[in-house]
Chains A and B, each alone.
Chain A
Amino acid sequence: MRGVLLGTLGPEKPTLAGAVRALEVDGPVALITAGWQEYEGQVEELPEKLGRDIVPLDLYRRTERVFAEDAELRAEHRALQETLRTGQEYYRLRLARSLDAALDIARFARGSPLEADEARLSMSYMRAMDRDHLDRVQGLRRDFDERMQPLRRPAVARQRAEIARLLQGTRILAIAGGHVAVLLNRLRLFGISDLVEDKVLVAWGGGAMVTAERVLLFHEDPPQGEGISELLEPGLGFHTGILPLPGPRHRLKLQDRERVGWLARRHAPFKCIALDNGAHVSFDGPRWFADSEGSHWLREDGSVSEEWVS
């Protein structure tokens, strides 16, 4: 696949249209705004921002319709969400306690022969927690799919056929941000990954995040707590090698080398790439290109670099 990712959209309209134009692909854009939830249909500004006609796929609205028709699926889907939410809370709690321990140990061990080994162990435990969390989510989703066979259920299949028909008239798929769990749920429910074929991707904000191989949630300056990042679940894997971190202005402390290095090492070999408001990067298979200023590579040594493209 090839495509372009953007940070959060700013008021500057030329950014998105320019990024789409640079793809050199004609025709209307299939548009997913399910992350906006009940605001999904408020897309009046997007044709101008994209510089193209749009074909809204209405995944949020379609999901509501599916759930209205298929009560069993709705109940089971809600139960799955509740389990995922609870698991996320437990994982978050475990991360927070482990980080406390890691910070204490780092302080106690400073200057001792154990310092480096303790740092390695702390990181290794965090990575193991991340891995276990992803495995569990994957397992829960697999069980759900095997048991409920959502794509074979008439209510889903009907909507999916319509989506497939709409996609046939487009060569570009645009995915807006918003609530990433809601967005990812809708993308999975209709099996969008298997419908995109050779589409070119344009994704921004949370849309850029869910199309990565894993979805990294982050906010290093929250009003409560330490601001430790966490994984949500595996993403759609439309692009490889990077974890997009849109909107770093309020969310990341890029001047804090310790935090930057910790985040980068924890998620290696993925490159953590912060995308400023309006910044865009493009990819063609595994190769990446920085199309504008404002993309920052968070490096394992704690530095931040603009030089990261492959």
Chain B
Amino acid sequence: MTAELAIDALKRARPDGRAVDAFMHGRSFPIVEGPKVTFVYRGGAEAVYLKSWVYGLPNSQPLHCLPGTELWYLTLDVPPGSRIEYKFEVLQHGHSRWMEDPLNPHRASDPFGANSVAHGHGYELPEWAQPDPEALQGKLIEWNIESKAFGERRDLAIYLPARFRPTRRYPLLFVHDGRDYLRFASLKTVLDNLVHRLEIPGLVVALCNSPNRILEYADHERHARFVTEECIPDLESRLPLVGKPRGRCLMGASFGGVASLSTAFRYPGFYGRLLLQSGSFAFSDIGNQNKRGPAFEPVIAFMNRFRASSELVSERAFISCGMHESLIYENRSLIPMLQASGMELRYVEARDGHNWENWRDRLREGLSWLFPGPLLMVYE
């Protein structure tokens, strides 16, 4: 027999304000009971909506008001291990306001602000994504390049692993939206931990940012030239890097995934590794029709060209995507094509959305697949 949900027990009791106080006291929100998650809002309102971005579900779902109270609730089926980002839309006095869930302390930040996060039963923040006092710290240094492609100076940050030595040869990971990966996906902590645990070798990581990523990451010739003909040669001449395809990896999420794939496509064989997270790989099967807006026009043109080609652009790729994203369809479609080109591929789906914590949670698997560390051989 299934245990009664807390909210159902409360409903059955026909509660007054005091009973609601007692219900709220000491409880975590949203309420996770096995595969059911109950979202709760308390306050005067004409209507309350759950705004979430789970592919296949409505973007907006109304919460129900418990009669005689100001308690609003909505129970959803949420599979184990899921993460759902959401906000509440509260309608008061005819005005609508979006807000984070005031009862839930879990937040996920991104460049546009923050969302509340509901963790499905069994989700755990990965241990390797949290600071480990035993892990030696790598360091970040500033780096700049006078770009002929862009006609201006571009700034990068370079991560050097702990115990960096000029006598070694390091693989290079080139990261699009590097600042956001550091800030929202704990990239430095993850790198420090994985290197410390020998799950990846020491990597040199170039973190780039674009002043106009929507333009420059959407199959932009100048961006590809900047990365391949300016950044990589500069880095390989001034740092002890492997300097071969197997030691060069492009990484990015969303449009950064497009930037990585399109750059590799323009220079086939130059990059031996790709790490593509929730790539915005929109395409069309008939013409270049586009339902996603003008920013996607160059992406669709590129993806259609890419899909028509069978060229092997890179030896190995790790691709991940959230099941809650609309991009899941495009990412799934890409896999058999890449396999047919002879690429060695690892594809992972997560019960998560288009967000930095999803991308953070996949980094261990992706990086260690592309760059296996010496963990079986080294015992300090």
A binding-site residues for B, Cβ under 8 Å = 8-9, 35, 38-39, 177-181, 205-206, 209, 217-219, 222-224, 230, 246-247, 250
Contacts and interface: CB of A to CB of B under 8 A. Distances in A.
Contacts, number: 52
Given A38-B165, A39-B163, A250-B197, A205 B369 contact: no
Nearest to B376: A217
Contacts of B199: 222-223
Interface of B: 163, 165, 167-168, 194, 197, 199, 364-365, 368-369, 372, 374-380
Contacts of A179: 374, 377-378
Contacts of A223: 194, 199, 364-365, 368-369
Contact of B365 (A180, A181, A224, A246): A224
Contacts of A246: 379
Mostly, the B contact residues are loop
Given A223-B194, A223-B199, 19 more contacts: A35-B378, A177-B378, A177-B379, A179-B374, A179-B378, A180-B378, A209-B379, A217-B377, A222-B199, A222-B368, A223-B365, A223-B368, A223-B369, A224-B365, A224-B369, A224-B372, A246-B379, A247-B380, A250-B197
Given A224-B365, A224-B368, A250-B197, A206 B378 contact: yes
A181 B379 CA distance: 11
Contact of A205 (B364, B365, B380): B380
Given A38-B165, A38-B167, A38-B168, A219 B368 contact: no
A8 B378 CA distance: 11
B168 A219 contact: no
A230 B376 contact: yes
Contact of B379 (A39, A180, A230): A180
Nearest to A208: B379
A-B pairs, 4 with minimum CB distance: A223-B368, A206-B379, A205-B379, A217-B376
B380 A206 contact: yes
Contacts of A205: 379-380
A108 B167 CA distance: 53
Contacts of B165: 38-39
A222 B365 CA distance: 10
